[in-house]
Amino acid sequence: MQHATRKATSRLFDSRHPRMSPVACRMSIRLVCALCAILCAICVEVPAEEIGTEAFPAPASESTALPPSFVKERVQGRAAFRRVLFCGNSLTRHGPHAPIGWTNDWGMAASAPERDYVHLLVRALEARSGERPEFTLMGLPLEKGFENAEKVAEAAARAVAWKPDLAVIALGENAHSVTNDANEALCRAAYLATTRALREAGAEVVLRAPFWPNDRLRRILSGVAEETGAIYVDVGDLGTRDEMTAKGRFAHAGVAMHPGDAGMAAIADRILAAIVEHMEANGHCGADVVSSEP
């Protein structure tokens, strides 16, 4: 039987087989390869949990070996964050992937690393406090896998173990299964558990709504923020404006719909403004907002 199968298979791809000419065989192979390339380009997606935790290692500093202070110090009248944790997806960082025309290794689709929202926000925080914070990137199962409470708890523990005093959770664009009440409840529970863990460890937490409008995620994040004292930031209107995307710069529609330089700057500015407003309301800040624009 196995011999018969191998023989049939070999005949199928044998250009000498009377049912398939050499030209037809080559055309079939090319067609299959082309279809595979198209499918890869359409379906490629980097889950949040695949983002490396050491994606952007912070420069060495005197504070590196010291435990972080969860008491926000006043530096020139402004709150200083020493350790900033970014939890995100491709908008936070995406490695090179030639099939979709993305050859960089930073927030998709900024034109340079210093122009993605992560680096813009870090630079703005430094400008406010006079102290450059350490920062790193980490994935969380809040888009996929949120129904697994154990997995969520383990990821939250890793985030807490890094001892951030500011955590920016910028997820939701890939939460494609949150389309019904049951999954919305599970996703909310995962966000709530993660945010509580970070808040109880002393971190300020930013919950950024998706760049592309999503009413269920907006409801989840605003509710969790209200319940935990986290900072809610809505940027959903930005993704509906072409000038905030990278349309026209990339042929691949999936890449082009990501925030371009203007969109990244707008995201960073809104996060910064929300942080400042929150800190001022709690008596920690007293300075004007410094824009994240270079």
Predicted model pTM: 0.74
The pLDDT-based confidence of 282 (bands split at 50, 70, 90) is confident
* Six token digits for residue 19: 């049912």
Contact 134, 64 (CB under 8 A): yes
The terminus-to-terminus CA distance of the chain in angstroms comes to 69
pLDDT in tens, 175-204: 999 999 999 999 999 999 999 999 999 999
CA distance 83 to 203: 10
Residues 209-225: tens digit of each pLDDT: 999 999 999 999 999 99
Give pairs for 15-23: CB < 8 Å, separation 24+: none
DSSP label at residue 178: -
**How many Cβ atoms sit within 10 Å of the Cβ of residue 180?**
9
**Distance between CA atoms of residues 210 and 107, nearest Å:** 14
Asked if residue 23 has pLDDT above 60, the reply is no
Mean predicted confidence (pLDDT) in 127-138:
92
